Structure 1
Amino acid sequence: MTETTDAGVRHPPRSLLATLLGVSTMTIMASATITPALPGMQRHFAAEPHAELLVRLVLTLPGLAIMVSAPLLAKLSGRTGRVPVLLACLALYTVGGGSGLLLDSLPALLVGRAVLGIGIAGIMTTSTALIADHHDPADHGRALGLQGAAMGFGGVVALLLGGLLAAVDWRGPFAIYLLAIPMVALVLRFVPDARVQPTDPRDTTTAASPWQPRLLGLYALIFIGVVVFYTVPTQAPFWLAEVGGAGPAVAGALIAAVNLVMTLVGLNFRRLRARWSFPRLAIAMFAAFAVGLVVLGTASALWTAALGMVVVGLGVGLQNPTINGWLVSTASPGARTRSLGLLTSALFLGQFSSPLIAQPVIDAVGMGTTFVLSGALAAVVGVVVAAIHWRSP
């Protein structure tokens, strides 16, 4: 059943979109949820060999599992349907994420986190594909903008709720993953599989491939964008302490503010998309990264650094709906989920790579200059996108 507006755009039932938005929040909660629990976890497992390293891997291991499994799950969903894969991955998310409530060894926890990562990979690819499948192309901007807003709001909730539960016990934040259980019931009730013609394996045309040049460019954009902006959650707490004496509570609040800005941008993305093309939105995204990171890196007071982080938040808010929308408008429906799987891998490769790339630069030139250089890289990418866009017919 669908609803039709006066403009002739068909909307699916609100319950369907609300369910898929709720599912999307599960992905952003994955990392932020347990961040406040890491110090308590390290104290609990202090007697285990290599505890300091393994506790940090508890946070990062899901990203590695996502990178590996996202394309495979996307391909599987093209054969079996998106909803069965989504339901199975919600189950994996619940088991893997909730395992921290019971397991009492770091190796076992790492296995649980790998299972969680596989679940996240399937949820990310199928939820976005289902949003696109069930909405007319003219309505993708609104729907994907709402998805970005829901993910930003989920990040705020995860940071705040995770902190409160971690204050009670380090295992507390793991209970948040159990929110996937009602999501399973809602998906079964409200989300049918869309009728999408699968891509014929014998079809080797460019349109049927997730490897066409424009899609490769989008994978590169999401990778570079994440490498650039992820310097904020990974490095900003240390920088805020240096320039403004900010403690963990203030740093956490400012990072939560970035998620709040992301939410506000998502809520207004439909209006932005009505005025600007995807290339122009991508240029604006990298411009926000460039300006925000330069302001952050040259800050000499806490309020200036906070201003820079808010501007970066504008770019973060544009990133998911812009790149996801650009991809679903470019990929053929049959190849859409595979393309989203590769995009998800590129995104988490960027998250994993960002601190590895940033740390040697920080050691060489300092943290402030590293932020400035990240902003310069964002500016260069924005100029390249602009040059390609204006040369295209």
Structure 2
Amino acid sequence: MTDTTAAPVRRGPRALLAALLGASTMTIMASATITPALPGMAEHFAATPHAGVLVRLVLTLPGLAILLSAPVIGRVSVRAGRVRVLAACLVLYVVGGGSGLVLNSLPALLAGRAVLGVGIAGIMATSTAPLADHHPPAEHGRVLGLQGAAMGFGGVVSLLLGGLLASLSWRGPFAVYLLGVPLLVLVLRYVSDVPVATTGRTATTGAWQPRLLGLYALVFLGILVFYVVPTQAPFWLGQIGGAGPALTGAMLAALNLVMTVVGLSFRRLREGRSFRVLAISLFAAYAAGLVVLGLAGSLWVAGLGILVVGLGVGLQNPTFNGWVVASVAPAARTAALGLLTSAMFLAQFLSPLLAQPVIDAVGLGPMFLCSAALGAFVALLLLVAGSRLAQPDRAA
């Protein structure tokens, strides 16, 4: 559906674009930053009951908070304004993320991660929607690709920095969340709301179109398949090659570097291709990369699998963000992106819970192969029946 009553958009200034892209990097840094610290954290809290699962939940618990808060934040932003909500959520991001520097128990750490999750929910929805609001539809492929590239670059920086800091202490990576402070200053200085016209309950009902539910389901499955890499790869890399936090951080940073390159190339990749074709490609990349990773007997082979997975990660955010933005009226963008965010982080939360029984039964390597099988199944499903998903499904 298209809302013809919406205010016209213009190409946003560079400072505004930089502020929104910077805010977008905070979302991927939220999880990537502490990934190399997981083994050290598990050792530190080894005496805590169920520490193995709880430590992994330190990485993924924000998903549950986002699941619950993102739809509410989407509604609040319609009334309070997207920029106000974005600024408030950056504050929650800094407080919740940085709390890991001082908290001394796993339950307290998990509470801080829940606060972080609320911040992430608002940042994801209210940083993407203004990108579309301030740029005409013809520019959406470019700016959403740049957003994906910025997120990938943020992941590279945070993983490398997180790996180095984790070598000093498992608490070290939590300091990276303090980078949200200068981003808050930039947002308050350069980002403004664009008025969008609403018709009736467009801002809330447009996000619940039945055919959009398929997109939310695809994002859920995509994250479920991919997220075994950041949650389980640090343990697998240590098992097959003795990789420590710094090397693990560097290898996962390489994934984000591929994500950056794909994001910078997204405008060209989008030309002549439908969103459905891009979605098939990303799930196929997940399947191929996870097969290589699961069968790896050395760090070099595992690294190759991680790089292939990175191709899928690079496609996922701009593909599904663009698909949703193109499928709803401007007034409904934040609400729809909030639901997309909920689906994404619900999958993050569930990933270690679903993976652990498989690991206990067959081991880490076969678990990656099971995830690869799910990715291949989704790619095949899209190939056969994906044309029934939300429109438009043509390249711009």
Same fold per TM (> 0.5)? yes
In structure 2, the gaps of 5 or more residues are 1-8
Q: Indicate yes or no: 2:180 matched with 1:180.
A: yes
**Residues 1:117 and 1:390: Cα distance change in structure 2 (over 3 Å):** closer
The alpha carbon displacement at 1:27 in A equals: 1.0
Q: Does structure 2 retain, via aligned residues, the 8 Å contact 1:258–1:310?
A: yes
The equivalent of 1:293 in structure 2 is 290
Amino acid at match of 1:232: V
Which secondary structure state, in structure 2, belongs to the residue aligned with residue 209 of structure 1? helix
Percent of aligned pairs with the same amino acid:
69
**Residues 1:110 and 1:366: Cα distance change in structure 2 (over 3 Å):** closer
The equivalent of 2:130 in structure 1 is 130
Deviations along 1:343-375, one digit per CA (max 9) or x if unpaired, are 111101111122222222333344333323322
**Residues 1:169 and 1:228: Cα distance change in structure 2 (over 3 Å):** closer
Which secondary structure state, in structure 2, belongs to the residue aligned with residue 18 of structure 1? helix
Q: Which fold has the larger relative contact order, with Cα–Cα distance below 8 Å and residues 6 or more apart in sequence?
A: 2
Q: Indicate yes or no: 2:195 matched with 1:195.
A: yes
What is the rounded CA distance, in whole Å, between the counterparts of 2:350 and 2:125 in structure 1? Answer: 21
Which secondary structure state, in structure 2, belongs to the residue aligned with residue 11 of structure 1? coil
What is the rounded CA distance, in whole Å, between the counterparts of 1:50 and 1:383 in structure 2? Answer: 37
The equivalent of 1:142 in structure 2 is 142
**Residues 1:357 and 1:44: Cα distance change in structure 2 (over 3 Å):** closer
**Residues 1:325 and 1:232: Cα distance change in structure 2 (over 3 Å):** same
The equivalent of 1:4 in structure 2 is none
Which secondary structure state, in structure 2, belongs to the residue aligned with residue 373 of structure 1? helix
Task: Give the alignment of 1:260-279 within 5 angstroms.
Answer: 260-279=257-276
In structure 1, the gaps of 5 or more residues are 1-8
The alpha carbon displacement at 1:331 in A equals: 1.5
The equivalent of 1:157 in structure 2 is 157
What is the rounded CA distance, in whole Å, between the counterparts of 1:59 and 1:137 in structure 2? Answer: 35
What is the rounded CA distance, in whole Å, between the counterparts of 1:365 and 1:53 in structure 2? Answer: 17
The equivalent of 1:344 in structure 2 is 341
The equivalent of 1:209 in structure 2 is 206
Amino acid at match of 1:148: G
The alpha carbon displacement at 1:136 in A equals: 1.0
Which secondary structure state, in structure 2, belongs to the residue aligned with residue 27 of structure 1? helix
Amino acid at match of 1:353: L
The alpha carbon displacement at 1:190 in A equals: 0.9
**Residues 1:27 and 1:56: Cα distance change in structure 2 (over 3 Å):** same
Q: Indicate yes or no: 2:327 matched with 1:333.
A: no
Structure 1 length as normaliser, TM-score?
0.88
Which secondary structure state, in structure 1, belongs to the residue aligned with residue 217 of structure 2? helix
Amino acid at match of 2:219: I
Paired positions, count:
382
Task: Give the alignment of 1:230-241 within 5 angstroms.
Answer: 230-241=227-238
Amino acid at match of 1:317: G
What is the rounded CA distance, in whole Å, between the counterparts of 2:149 and 2:196 in structure 1? Answer: 26
Structure 2 length as normaliser, TM-score?
0.87
Task: Give the alignment of 1:358-373 within 5 angstroms.
Answer: 358-373=355-370
Which secondary structure state, in structure 1, belongs to the residue aligned with residue 147 of structure 2? helix
What is the rounded CA distance, in whole Å, between the counterparts of 1:363 and 1:209 in structure 2? Answer: 43
Amino acid at match of 2:113: R
